Amino acid sequence: MSSQGLEAIDQTVHLTHEWINELSERVGYSSKRSTLRLLRAVLHILRDRLPQDEMA
């Protein structure tokens, strides 16, 4: 059982940290905050450019 009793949320947070850590290594950023900003920017661009049927 998770500390908050919400395993799905805990798993999502864990996965997000894994993505940020991997992206940080790949682009050579030392700051996790900068890496998160980069990830958010890329995801927003994808959201804005993908057709609606492909977003789902």
Provide the residue ranges of all domains of the chain, joining segments of one domain with +.
7-55
Distance CA 36, CA 4 (A): 24
Q: Pull the structure tokens for residue 41.
A: 């920017």
pTM of the model: 0.71
- Tell me, what's the pLDDT at 32? 95
Q: What is the 3-state secondary structure (H, E, C) of the chain?
A: CCCCCCHHHHHHHHHHHHHHHHHHHHHCCCCHHHHHHHHHHHHHHHHHHCCHHHHC
pLDDT in tens, the chain (56 residues): 556 668 999 999 999 999 999 999 999 999 999 999 999 999 999 999 999 888 77
- Tell me, what's the pLDDT at 6? 85
